[in-house]
Amino acid sequence: MSFSSSSSSSCSTSLLLILLLILAIFSGAAFSQDCSDDFWKLVKNKDNSTSCKSLRTLETEFGWNVRNGTNKSTFSVDVTFGASLLMEPPGWIAWGVNPGPRPEMIGTQAIIGIIPNNDNSGMEVRTYDITKETRMGCHLEPTENLNGVVQVSNTSIEYDHGSGLYAISARLVLSSTLYNVTRLNHVWQIGAALDPSNNPLKHPTTLRNVDSTETIDLTSGQSYGQNRALLRKVHGVLNIVGWGTLLPIGVIVARYFKVYPFRFNKWWMYLHIACQSTGYLIGVSGWAIGLWLGHASKYYIFQNHRTFAIFIFTFTTIQMLALRLRPNEKDEYRKYWNMYHHFLGYGLLVIIIMNIFKGIRILQAGQGWKWAYVGILAFLGAITLGLEIFTWAKFLYDKEKQKRDDRMRDKNTTDQPAGGKP
């Protein structure tokens, strides 16, 4: 039977696609703790840094060497921070420590490498106190007085032609009442704009820019961050499978297997409800994880993605309730109800697909995600197209057959005495 073979093969193929998607996603999950050879060379030239590691965002690297201060109330750390600019200069690269309870931008005491020109002239390192006002867009001015930083010395910046890395370094003496060697809050950032006096202007606020914080134990190199990478991927997969794959399959089932071209009484209904309910449940769990993620990172927000998400949840919930609340088959409102249910259903699909691509863009986890979902959509689209063409072919064939039958019947009626109609 063409119905069961096409639906079971569509199911197994979409399962295969989902598996491929998951594989593509988790193969990129591991990252290395050490730094690149190029950066290690830079660090060794500069100071006696003994440790180095790649930081988790913006492809940045961090080298350091921590020593006891002259007395118990301070400790000293030589740092080197390496990064490539996002674009051509001008730009800035920043690293800083935060004496507050959390590693975050506000409160950070930063050393910033200023890169005004392409030809590496005029590069310098300045120190800044990053405040609430900075975040609100206030003008940044360099300052000598950093909170809890007793001394900044031996600052330098250099460019490595081979690797394209800029590296800033400095020796900091930190107050041990405000900073903890084994739990140091540090942040880093890259910006692409300078004001006329070469002070940094706002950096982009994509996920990797706002993720550029962690707490580090300088004695061991271990870091403690809220690493939400896995949960974000789970969020993405659940939403793609639930809203983005199962709901559209349910719509295809309802469209082509209810009356025309295939009529599978009851069957289509079970399949439609099964697809929509599991799709809804999986989607809602993905949505809930999204809400949790949004709540956990309350210092920044992805407003459009969030607004669409709330819209999707609200209206899919209404569509699900519709299953219980729809008017009776014989009711005259049923026609209007059907129109509205279908209209909202197609509209929701468009918004869901848009929001999935928006989410994929926010995640910035490579092209794999995009192509995986494009693959799923192309597959569903091909099935829809095939069924649509089949519908029309069948429609035309049936009409032709009808005409032929009518002609036959006409011939028969003229041959037979009148009143012989069944």
- Residues belonging to the binding site for heme b are 235, 272, 305, 341
Q: Is 208 or 341 the residue whose CB approaches ligand HEM more closely?
A: 208
Q: How far is the CB of 72 from ligand NAG (least distance, A)?
A: 6
Tokens linked to 391 = 């519908």
Which of 214, 182, 187, 194 lies closest to 75, judged by CA? 182
Instruction: Indicate which single residue of 49, 74, 109, 134 sits in contact with ligand NAG (rule: CB under 6 A).
Output: 74
**C-alpha–C-alpha distance, residues 205 and 362, integer Å:** 10
CB 96 within 8 A of CB 108: yes
Q: Is 43 or 114 the residue whose CB approaches ligand HEM more closely?
A: 114
Q: Which does 139 bind (CB under 5 to 8 A by kind): ligand NAG, ligand HEM, none?
A: none
Supply the DSSP symbol for 31. Answer: -
Q: Which does 154 bind (CB under 5 to 8 A by kind): ligand NAG, ligand HEM, none?
A: ligand NAG
Tokens linked to 154 = 């031996």
Instruction: Indicate which single residue of 9, 182, 222, 367 sits in contact with ligand NAG (rule: CB under 6 A).
Output: 182
Name the closest residue to ligand HEM (Cβ): 294
Query: How many residues in the shown chain lie near ligand NAG by CB under 6 A?
Result: 15
Q: How far is the CB of 139 from ligand HEM (least distance, A)?
A: 9
Q: Which does 153 bind (CB under 5 to 8 A by kind): ligand HEM, ligand NAG, none?
A: ligand NAG
Tokens linked to 107 = 């409160």
Does residue 211 belong to the site contacting ligand NAG (CB under 6 A)?
no
Q: Is 6 or 147 the residue whose CB approaches ligand HEM more closely?
A: 147
Which of 110, 210, 216, 240 lies closest to 168, judged by CA? 110
- Contacts (CB under 6 A) with ligand NAG, residues 53-72: 67-71
Specify the DSSP element, H or E, that contains 60.
none
Name the phi and psi angles at 108, rounded to 5.
-70, 135
Does residue 222 belong to the site contacting ligand NAG (CB under 6 A)?
no
Q: Which does 96 bind (CB under 5 to 8 A by kind): ligand HEM, ligand NAG, none?
A: ligand HEM
Name the phi and psi angles at 324, rounded to 5.
-90, -30
Q: What is the CA radius of gyration of the chain?
A: 31
Exposure pattern of 68-93 as b/e (b: 16+ CB <10 Å)?
ebeeeebbbbbbbbbbbbbeebbbbb
- Contacts (CB under 6 A) with ligand NAG, residues 146-165: 150, 153-154
Distance of CA 38 to the CA centre of its chain: 30
The pattern of x and - marking residues 113 through 152 that bind ligand NAG according to CB under 6 A reads: -------------------------------------x--
Instruction: Indicate which single residue of 25, 43, 47, 376 sits in contact with ligand NAG (rule: CB under 6 A).
Output: 47
Exposure pattern of 295-334 as b/e (b: 16+ CB <10 Å)?
eeeeeeebeebeebbeebbebbeebbeeeeeeeeeeeeee
Q: Is 5 or 71 the residue whose CB approaches ligand NAG more closely?
A: 71
Q: Is 96 or 99 the residue whose CB approaches ligand HEM more closely?
A: 96
Q: Which does 108 bind (CB under 5 to 8 A by kind): ligand HEM, ligand NAG, none?
A: ligand HEM
Contacting residues toward ligand HEM, per CB under 6 A: 94, 96, 104-106, 108, 110, 112, 130, 134-135, 137, 140, 187, 189, 200-203, 205, 207, 210, 212-213, 228, 232, 235-236, 239-240, 243, 287, 290-291, 293-294, 297, 299-302, 305-306, 309, 312, 352, 355-356, 359-360, 362-363, 369
**C-alpha–C-alpha distance, residues 164 and 143, integer Å:** 29
**C-alpha–C-alpha distance, residues 308 and 99, integer Å:** 37
Q: How far is the CB of 10 from ligand HEM (least distance, A)?
A: 21
63 forms bridges with which residues in the sheet?
52, 80
CB 380 within 8 A of CB 249: yes
Name the phi and psi angles at 177, rounded to 5.
-80, -30
Q: How far is the CB of 296 from ligand HEM (least distance, A)?
A: 7
Supply the DSSP symbol for 200. Answer: B
Interface residues toward ligand NAG, by CB under 6 A:
47-48, 67-71, 73-74, 150, 153-154, 180, 182-183
